Amino acid sequence: MKNENSEMKDNSAQTSYDEVPYESHPFAQSHPDRLATLGRLFGMSPTPVTGCRVLELGCSNGGNLMPMAYQLPDSEFVGVDLSKRQAEMGEKTIQGMGLKNIRIEHASILDVDDSWGKFDYIITHGVYSWVPNEVQDKILAISSENLTPQGIAYVSYNTYPGWRMREMLRDMMLYHIRQIRKPEQQVQQAKALLDFLATHVPTENNAYGILLKNELSLIKKTTDWYLFHDHLEEINDPVYFYQFAERARKKGLQYLGESDFGSMLTSRLPKEAAETLRKVNKDIVSTEQYMDFLRNRRFRQTLLCRQEVKLRRNVQPRNVRDLLIASLVIPEEGKVDLSPGKTQTFRTPKKQTIRTNRPLTKSALAVLRAHWPRTFDLDTLFRKAVDQLQRDPSLKGQAVQGNPDTLAGDLLQGYTANVVEFHTWQGDYVIEAGEKPKASELARYQSQEGTSVVNLRHEQLSLDPLGQQLLRILDGTRNRAALVTHLSDLIKNGALNIRQDDQPITDQKLIQATLEQDVERRLAYLSRVALLVNSE
């Protein structure tokens, strides 16, 4: 039974999210595959994602949950959200997609009880810090009581010390809008205050000004709906990590790890700092808390499991054997040099790097790059890497040095540096466009509504108008000539235009030639970003 205060705050939250819907997007870090991967690395036996039950608390309109349901048709997905408007929006899309394995309940988190059943994965993203203490306790209670024995719960939340500076800005904005009631005016005036501060607070020889400018630059990049809900809501309650871990412990949960595995490692710290932490800290919670102090961390995406689960904290290369591997790295020199002793730096599009001089590892990374976004198990990747080495003239018939365990150790290092991905499952996508290309049904449906679509790696992508129109017609019935003809007709009818030197192209022959090139180039792109499926 909710007390009067929590009921009032519950209704306030319901009203604000009905007035200004929170745009729900996919969060790859909360995907059951990510959770299962980390569970396996730490010695758990989580339920395979291809046949699991997933609960998301505060799911908005299902923008995170719905793509999972599409990707994993033999699993069951349940969402709950307090906003009637958002729940109805989600149900409308579910019906439009014809999805049978997902439902969104218009209810309070406080309504979830034993009758909802047990879940293998429980997700609470962007909710915990914005609800009353009673609801925070309920989130952790559900994450324990409704979790299967080898289940994993994901909870994201704001943390100190990093949120101290942002909290100060929040207080300033709340003061500035204290007499304004309409959300759009609140956002407008909050932005006006941020502009005022950015213009008039000096930064030269001013530590306060420097810190303020850094925070302002981040906040000013946010959308209006994000600013309203994440910074101007009535409740925003950050915690220190050790406090969160203690609250979870009292509910029968233990800290499993972070969704970003690499953030847990002291190896990312300066050597002296890492050695000191290893000496003085006897448990993982203390180590994580001190790393938050060092990094001024403001946000966590924490994984929890039941206390009785026995975890293996010392992750070994053998843990990689049961996982699938992918990577998009490329040598900084542009070409892989498989020569022994030649050290190369491999870099991802997001600038993460790893250095190695081992021919076997360089060959494996080249194989992964060539087949991206496809995944390989360790043994298959090892064989392909060896085959490539044996054909390389620089080795001159030398025996390949290393074995699958050697490769696994290097890949594990790559995983900690975010240059290699580990998975337990691969989406049903293809890496080459067939004769009659076909895009995922989810992406085609979303392209009817706008230019943002979700791929089969649970990532949100933006399309330009031509890409949007192309994606809509990739239903597996048209070859490339038919695709070009359809797009050309759209241009003739004024529904689409293509440009050269920032001017619309009107010459029909040039339109035809340009479209032929554009379609081929875009099909290659769509295959690289996991939007195409088998058309047979």
pLDDT value of position 51: 98
pTM exceeding 0.95: no
How high is the pLDDT of residue 7?
43
**How many Å apart are CA 324 and CA 375, to the nearest integer?**
6
Q: Which residues contact 443 (CB under 8 A, 6 or more apart)?
A: 453, 454, 455, 471, 531
Q: Are 191 and 185 in contact (CB under 8 A)?
A: no
The predicted pLDDT at position 16 comes to: 65
176-182 own/partner pairs: CB under 8 Å, 24+ apart: 177/232
List Cα–Cα distances, 167 to 41, 124, 215, 218, 268, in angstroms.
35, 22, 10, 13, 27
**Separation of alpha carbons 230 and 224, rounded Å:** 10
63: DSSP letter: T
Element (H, E) at 398: none
Asked if 237 and 129 touch (Cβ cutoff 8 Å), the reply is yes
Looking at residue 94, its pLDDT comes to 96
CB 488 within 8 A of CB 466: no
CA pair distance 123, 79, nearest whole angstrom: 9
Report residue 354 as tokens: 């790893």
Alpha-carbon gap, residue 328 to 378, rounded angstroms = 16
Distance between CA 311 and CA 354 in Å, rounded? 28
* 326 phi/psi in degrees, rounded to 5: -145, 155
- Please report, for residues 132, 140, 470, the alpha-carbon distance to residue 6 in angstroms, rounded to integers and kept in the order given: 7, 17, 49
Give the span between the Cα atoms of 281 and 252, in whole angstroms.
23
Catalogue the E-assigned strands of 435-487: 438-439, 452-454, 460-462
Give me the residue label for tokens 């029968």: 252
Q: Which tokens belong to 432?
A: 């080459």
Sheet holding 344-347, edge to edge: 330-331, 344-347, 353-356
pLDDT for the residue 397: 67
Q: In the CATH scheme, what is the homologous superfamily, with its name and number, of domain 4-158+238-306? A: Vaccinia Virus protein VP39 (3.40.50.150)
> Helices 465-472 and 441-449, interaxial angle, to 10°?
130
Q: Which residues of the chain have a pLDDT value below 70?
A: 1-18, 20-22, 397
The whole-angstrom separation of Cα 251 and Cα 272 is 36
pLDDT at residue 3, as a whole number: 36
pLDDT digits 0-9 by tens, 317-357: 999 999 999 999 999 988 999 988 899 999 999 999 999 99
Residue 168's pLDDT is what?
87
Looking at residue 17, its pLDDT comes to 65
CA end-to-end span of the chain? 54
- Longest CA–CA span in the chain (Å) reads 79
Q: How many Å apart are CA 33 and CA 20, to the nearest integer?
A: 31
Q: Length of the chain in residues, anyone? A: 536
Listed in order, the ranges of the chain carrying CATH 3.40.50.150 are 4-158+238-306
